[in-house]
Amino acid sequence: MKLTWIDWAIVAAYFLFNLAIGFYYKSRAGQNIGEFFLSGRNVPWWLAGTSMVATTFAADTPLAVTGMVARNGIAGNWLWWNFVFSGMLTVFFYARLWRRSGVMTDVEFAEIRYAGKPAAFLRGFRALYLGIPINCIILGWVNLAMVKILMLILGVSKIQALAIVLGMIALTSFISTLAGLWGVLVTDLFQFVIKMSMVIVLAVVAVAAVGGIDQMMVKLEAIDRAKGLATGTAGSVLSFTPDLNSAWMPMITFFVYISLNWWAAWYPGAEPGGGGFIAQRMFCARDEKNSLLATLWFNIAHYAVRPWPWILVALVSVILYPNLADPETGYIRVMIDYLPPSLRGLMVAAFAAAFMSTIGTQLNWGASYLVNDFYRRFLHKRGTEKHYVLVSQMATVLLTVISAVVTFYMDSITGAWKLLIVTGAGTGTVLILRWFWWRINAWSEVSAMAAAFVVSVALQTRFGLSSDDPRGFAIIMLITVGITTAVWLAVTLLTAPEPTEVLVGFYKRVRPSAALWKPIARLAPEVPPAHDLKYNFLDWVAGCVMIYGALFGVGKIILKSYATGALFLGLALAAGALIYWDLNRRGWKTVIE
């Protein structure tokens, strides 16, 4: 794709503006570790929520969606659409509790909920495990995607593209070390506006390239008929629901996705109940209300606002490039072949924004684990705030270097990444219930982690099941969740509960629903018991209806099914009104007896 001097000037202006933000927030981030990692816990909901959205909009995200649509139609997005249920769980059951906990990272939670060496082990192990290998795998994955994008856009070799990516990482790392979370949050906002605007522009251009929506649907229906004649199968690329007789999504797999996967599995950075950078954004919010609203806005934007510009370009790529060996590159090819020259510089800046927003968050979040939950907790407990800020900056640089090395070996790590997802199956129940059931102890989490890993690995190595095969994935999930749940429940009941003083302290600090904390609640009569589970459940159901209603409603209207689209949007509005009424009625707080 040919770029003019004007395009390069736009790209340069983008990078300079990011640098300016970094220098602007330098003095504030250097005050103390709380400012560096949590922005002084004074972030408004719209900024924290938009930062979540920007972080999950990585450079490879549109490409991944394009691959899903090209292989399995619009319904291919159920691979991630099923996590709406988990997202709404975080919003209404956990956002306020996380903010109330007062911790700096989600792994620090272990030592306010549990006691002794098991709690310390959990905190230290998770800090290193999530902060270095898992975080750097994510960074390496994103780096590799940007390398592929630059190779196509600029027509450079892999080595040249990697050199450019390393330069972008260095700049992002510099901003992150300079300005801390404030710099990350504000650049995320700026970057989200750029990349969201440009993907909408590209969607409009792409649809026009095939003659408009009507012609796009006619051509896709022709492709469906040809495919059906060739394979003897039915189904439409425009269907919002999967064919449950298909090879990629048989009924058992779809059942696992919508009924099990979203709550039972642990997946890096997005544990059931919130975790990773999502939890970090909840911690930095001004108060409980802003924490809840930030997470709610994130889920609305993530599932109901962002997908359709990507999906439209993906559908066009199916028409224009039907036989690509790597269908994910269809997104970039549409941009190269059909985007007007006057917009190419902005599109390159948009991809840079998508890349840098994810990298910036991962660096800051990973450094928070290494410094707060390992270095400060176990190695150097009495340092000054300035010392910890300096170490945080050094940790950010360390992660930058490791992630660059990981990128070189990404082909060998991809399989391990897929393995990590299924090895957490069954641990989600502990992560959910540890807030609401006093009897869960540190050994519950340790045993769940161990059982999930052993069972899932055994199923894949000894019994030949593959997580790449849809049926195999479903069977692995069902068996692993069943055995892991039985193990951690048995361990919980056979081991002693946490010390009473620890449980009482946690109950006073977090004030969870009293339903499963009655023995502890009686020891803290000064804390009014909360009874809000039924109201949170009502809001959770309404939230899921709102998200799916908005997602499908917008899609149907785009595809000119106006009556159906209006019905879905009406449901979404009604559900949103119900949530607004309930939260206002409660004053955005827990319901006290």
Share above pLDDT 90 across residues of the chain, in percent, rounded to a whole number: 34
Q: What is the model's pLDDT at position 414?
A: 43
> C-alpha 153: how far from its chain's center?
27
Question: Taking residues 276-302, what's their average pLDDT?
Answer: 90
Lowest mean pLDDT among 62-66, 146-150, 175-179, 420-424: 420-424
What type of residue is 321? Answer: Y
Highest mean pLDDT among 46-60, 128-142, 219-233: 46-60
Residue 460 phi/psi, 5° resolution?
Answer: -90, -30
CA-closest candidate to residue 348, choices 364, 332, 325, 360: 332
Burial letters for 169-203: b for 16+ Cβ neighbours within 10 Å, e otherwise? bebbbbbbbbbbbbbbbbbbbbbbebbbebbebbb
Smallest CA-to-CA distance from 61 within 196, 243, 164 is with 196
**Structure confidence by residue, pLDDT tens digits, 55-103:** 888 777 888 889 889 888 898 898 889 889 999 999 999 999 999 998 8
296 pLDDT higher than 70: yes
Beta bridge partner(s), residue 285: 43
Bridge partners (DSSP) of residue 67 are: none
Pairwise CA distance, residues 110 & 434, whole Å: 10
- Write a three-state SS string for 314-372: HHHHHHHCCCCCCHHHHHHHHHHHHCCHHHHHHHHHHHHHHHHHHHHHHHHHHHHHHHH
pLDDT of 593 reads 42
Q: Is the pLDDT of residue 46 over 90?
A: yes
Report how far residue 181's alpha carbon sits from residue 161's, in angstroms, rounded to the nearest whole number.
Answer: 28
> pLDDT value at position 416?
47
216 Cβ partners below 8 Å, 6+ apart? 207, 210, 315, 316, 319
Q: How far is CA 311 from CA 70, 131, 335, 551, 557, in A?
A: 10, 33, 14, 12, 14
Phi, psi of 152 (to 5 degrees): -75, -45
Which are the contacts of 466, defined by CB distance < 8 A and separation ≥ 6?
Answer: 460, 472, 473
Rounded to whole angstroms, how far apart are CA atoms 63 and 329? 6
- Per-residue pLDDT, 233: 56
Q: Are 201 and 309 in contact (CB under 8 A)?
A: no
Sort 360 into a burial class: Cβ within 10 Å, 0-12 / 13-18 / 19+: buried
Residue 412: per-residue pLDDT? 39
pLDDT digits (tens, 9 = 90+) for 455-496: 988 888 888 888 778 888 889 889 999 999 999 999 999 999
Q: Report pLDDT for 236.
A: 82
What integer pLDDT is reported at residue 444 of this predicted model?
94
Going 62 to 68 to 70 to 74, the CA torsion angle's sign is negative
How far CA 312 is from CA of 368, 559, 567, 568, in Å, comes to 38, 10, 22, 19
| Average pLDDT, integer, range 148-174 | 82
> For residue range 538-570, what is the model confidence (pLDDT) as tens digits?
999 999 999 999 999 999 999 999 999 999 999
Other residues' Cβ atoms within 10 Å of the Cβ of residue 230: 8
pLDDT digits 0-9 by tens, 400-430: 788 777 776 655 334 444 555 666 677 888 9
CA nearest 258: which of 544, 554, 538? 544
Q: What are the domain boundaries of the chain?
A: 1-45+55-79+140-252+304-408
Report the alpha-carbon distance of residue 475 to residue 486 in Å, rounded.
17
Model confidence band, residue 320 (pLDDT cutoffs 50, 70, 90): very high
Mean pLDDT on 217-240:
76
> What pLDDT, on a 0 to 100 scale, did the predictor assign at position 572?
97
| 54-68, 226-240, 244-258: the lowest-pLDDT one | 226-240
Three-state secondary structure along 259-323?
HHHHHHCCCCCCCCCCCHHHHHHHHCECCHHHHHHHHHHHHHHHHHHCHHHHHHHHHHHHHHCCC
For the chain, the straight-line distance linking the first and the last C-alpha, in angstroms and rounded, comes to 64
pLDDT band at 24 (very low <50, low <70, confident <90, very high): confident
**Mean pLDDT over residues 261-278, rounded?**
74
